[in-house]
Amino acid sequence: MMQSMIGLFAIALQQEGTMLPLLPYTPNESVWRQMSQALHVSFYRVFSLLIGVLPGILAFFVALVVFALFGKLASWMMRAILNAFNFDARIARTGAPPDWTPATSPTAIAVRATFWVFVFLGLLVGVSAFDTSYAVGSAMTFSLLPYVTRFAGAVVLLIVGTLIARFLARSVLIGAVNA
C-alpha cells in the first residue's frame, strides 16, 4: 500500500498538470480493491494539485518579502526627504484640526504609509502569482483573486466601520451624560 502511494507521488511529480483518467467499473472486482483504487486516484489528484500550486505559494512569499524590502528602502528615503523639508513644522503651520491630529508625527505617518503600500503591492502580486498557478494546477476554472480582494475590502470596511462606530458611540455617550 505504502509503496503504491510513493509510486503515485513520484508519477504525480513527473506528470505535473496531467489528470489520471477515471478507472472503469468492473462488476467482478472485490470491494476492497475498488476502494484501494479510489484512494489511489484521490491521493494522486491532491498531490498533483499541491505540486501545481507550490510554485505559486513560493512566488507569493517571495513577492511579499521583496516588496517589503523595497518598502523599507522607500520609507527610509521618504523619511530622509521629509526631514530635510521640515515636513512636520510645515504641517503644524497649516493648522490641522487639533481633534484629528494623531499622536504620531506626520512624517512617521507618511513613512509608515509608504512601507505598507509596498507591502500591499507585494501582497497583490503574490496573490496574483498564486492565483495563476492555482488555476493552472487545478481542474477548476474559477479564479481565487476576486475572492481575496473582496475579502480584503471587507476587512478594511469592518475596521473603518468599527473605528467610526466607537467614536460616534463615545460622542453620544458623553453628550448624553453632560446634557
Partner 1 sequence: MNTMATADPIPELGSTATQATTDLLVLVAAMLPEHFESLLIQLSSAFPAAGLLIATENPAPARQNPSLRLIAAPATAVKWSLPPAIFVQAWRLAEEHHARGVLILGPGSDSLGASALHMLGNAVLAESIDLAVPRYLLPSHAGMIGSSIIYPLTRALFAARIRFPLATDLALSPRMAQRMALAAERITQPEPSEALLWPVNEACVAGFAMEDFDVGPRTLPQPAESEVNTILARVTGSLFSDIETKAAFWQRARRAPTLRPMPPQPPPADGASEVPRMVESFRYAYSNLLEIWSLVLPPQSLLALKRLSLMAPAEFIMADSLWARIVYDFLIAYRLRTINRSHLLGAFLPLYRGWVASHINLTAAGTGAEAHIEALAAAFEADKPYVVSRWRWPDRFNA
**Of 3, 68, 77, the residue nearest 40 (C-alpha):** 3
First to last CA, the chain: 78
27 lines the binding site for partner 1 (CB under 8 A): no
> Which of 27, 28, 95, 139 forms a contact with partner 1 (CB under 8 A)?
95
139 lines the binding site for partner 1 (CB under 8 A): no
d(CA 149, CA 118): 16
By three-state DSSP, how is residue 167 classified? helix
CB of 175 to partner 1, least distance (A): 7
DSSP state of 76: H
d(CA 168, CA 59): 43
> Which of 69, 96, 136, 140 forms a contact with partner 1 (CB under 8 A)?
96
Nearer to partner 1, 28 or 178 (CB): 178
Q: How far is CA 110 from the centre of its chain?
A: 23
d(CA 146, CA 152): 10
31 lines the binding site for partner 1 (CB under 8 A): no
89 lines the binding site for partner 1 (CB under 8 A): no
What mask, x for binding partner 1 by CB under 8 A, covers residues 97 to 136?
xxx-xxx---------------------------------
Nearer to partner 1, 22 or 93 (CB): 93
164 lines the binding site for partner 1 (CB under 8 A): no
Of the candidate spans 9-17, 37-45, 70-78, 164-172, the one that interacts with partner 1 by CB under 8 A turns out to be 164-172
d(CA 108, CA 19): 53
178 lines the binding site for partner 1 (CB under 8 A): yes
d(CA 148, CA 140): 17
Residues that bind partner 1 (CB under 8 A): 93-99, 101-103, 167, 170-171, 173-178
